[in-house]
Structure 1
């Protein structure tokens, strides 16, 4: 498959440039997709952000450097993109559980994160119900959260975000829903990654509406976009499974890639829809 070849060509470039500045525009060009598409695809398939994967690979190689007892910590730090021994030592300790100086000692246990490649996995051909929708811009009104993801852990968690919204507020939001996607919507937008491996995004829990919002709620203006809309019956496990299949099965085999826009989960009457903003390849 060309997609697998392109993704692995991009991964090879990353591996060969762990001691240099990695140009994500080059990564995207090698993968024949946008930088945003590659990062989001990677985070869904690998379950960690691309920047976190690169950080772990660099610190894996850095640990091997200390088998040479004459190597200086500052030299290894600079080689793998750290501006000071202190910042390198903190990152090294976070991954390996010991300091670089301790790593020099014989018999100390270290962690290794091997290079990652993408492989084709043949699974049961379960159908996916979807439609392509071209939709004018609309507003989402609701509660806004600034979310950070480190080592696959969200802060705040989805459970705490939802529990912070009162029953009355949830009823207000649900009642304000009068345009697609209908029902209570969970919107993720403005995804970005830092060199330290942290991923951040804005999360809105609210409703798509044309009504005037109450002052206590935030408003997200969603621009005109092309959407792939997937229908799901079932509980949260089915929703999570469908998210994974969209990224691992549908997108790679489609004529589309991700557009830099929101990702929406809409729920109403025991049914859910996933809205993914897309553009033609």
Structure 2
């Protein structure tokens, strides 16, 4: 099953469950993508967030029902499409369509239809994408502090964890540790996402640390990364935008069962951050 088929299968699942609860883990599983990264991939592909796409699709379907099912009740539509009350549904409906659900029943009223998305391959003149393949030919030890993150809130939570780690003095401590025995690969300050790239649990541990082989402080813990192959991209933010849309579909690689790692280098380095993604050949 190729990449396009997988992501369209996830879109089929979302479409079939617009009037039910949509499980982000199931959508990510169908796309063969880590739950943590699926919303980022979707946003990179479409330009809108996954939650906003679902919201618009539901409100589009609600508009169709209002015009085509004369006796449908607004409270029933509100509950059907995930709103707690007719008032919250009405506000959301008016925000998208510009009119209230009651007004939308009338013929001749202009509404907005947000169509179901399908993905297909196109050829376009994108700029080149820099990457390198790194092979870790021995186990590496990473030491740091873990904090639990709710998977669905990860994109908001993790930047705050870094801010708190800097303010508390954790980041300066880790920088000092990284200088004791510098490593030639993955030598920066590291953010380790869970235990595997395919995050399917509701929560996962995010470790802020560095490679370290000496005795470590008691308030820290160690994780070991075994021998493995990685694709490394400069510029973490840009890499996440293009990894799934441009590199993975044609690379001949799949995600390995190891965590993705964000590698933050010295400020004077160019680039000063990298995304390490564990891969295996297909």
TM-score range, shorter-chain basis? 0.5 to 0.7
Q: CA deviation at 1:251?
A: 0.9
In 2: Cα distance, 1:261 partner to 1:47 partner: 28
Q: Distance in 2 between matches of 1:201 and 1:163?
A: 18
Distance 1:26-1:125 versus aligned 2 partners, 3 A rule = closer
CA RMSD across the alignment: 4.4
2:260 to 263, 269, 281: 263
- Structure 1 residue 143: deviation in Å? 6.0
Q: Which residue of 1 aligns with 2:130?
A: 128
Judging by fraction of residues, say which structure has more strand.
1
Deviation at 1:249, TM superposition (A): 1.3
Aligned to 2:119: 118
Contact 1:37 1:258 in 2 (8 A): no
Whether 1:213 and 2:212 are equivalent positions in the alignment is no
- Give 5+ residue unaligned stretches, structure 1: 195-199, 233-237
Aligned to 1:103: 101
Change (3 A) 1:168 1:34: closer
Report the 3-state secondary structure (helix = DSSP H, G, I; strand = E; otherwise coil) of the residue aligned with 1:142: strand
CA distance in 2, matches of 1:261, 1:59: 39
Residue in structure 2 matched with residue 58 of structure 1 by the alignment: 58
Q: In the superposition, relative to structure 1, how do residues 11 and 173 fare at CA in structure 2: closer, same or farther (>3 Å)? A: same
Separation (CA, whole Å) in 2 of partners of 1:166 and 1:37 = 26
TM-score (norm 2): 0.66
Question: What is the number of residues matched between the two proteins?
Answer: 261
Aligned to 1:39: 38
Structural mapping, 1:10-25, within 5 Å: 10-12=10-12, 14-19=14-19
1:9, CA displacement in angstroms?
4.9
TM-score by length of structure 1 reads 0.67
| Cα distance in 1, alignment partners of residues 85 and 200 from structure 2 | 22
